[in-house]
Amino acid sequence: MNQEELISVAAEAIDKRPFLPKKHYHLCHSNGHLCCLPKKHTDDPHPIFALLTYGDINLGLTPAKWNDVGKKLKKFYKEATPCIQPTVRSKP
C-alpha cells in the first residue's frame, strides 16, 4: 500500500473508534488490527503511530500530522512480517 492508502485506512480506524468519554486516544496496531483506542487500553507493548486528543479527532488532523502518520504506517507495514496487513478493527 502507498502512503495515501495507509492514511485512508488510518482515517477509517479513527472513525471506527469506540465512543468513550476519554480525552486521549492513540492510533495503534493492536490484536492484529489498526485501531484508534483510549491511550491506556492495554499494558502490553504494541506499535503506536499517533497520540490523538479528542480535539484532534473532532477538528481533524493537520496535513503535517497525517503525513507523519502515513510515514510511520508505511515503515511499520514494510518492516512487519508480510502476513500483517493494515486492517481496521470492526466497530464495537
pLDDT of residue 22: 77
Q: How many CA atoms lie within 13 A of 69 on its CB side?
A: 26
Residue showing cell 472513525: 15
pLDDT of residue 56: 85
Domain boundaries along the sequence of the chain? 3-79
Provide the total of helices (H) and of strands (E) in the chain, helices listed first. Answer: 3, 3
pTM of the model: 0.79
Q: Note the pLDDT tens digit of each residue in 25-66.
A: 999 998 888 999 988 888 888 899 999 988 888 888 999 999
Amino acid making up residue 92: P
pLDDT of residue 69: 93
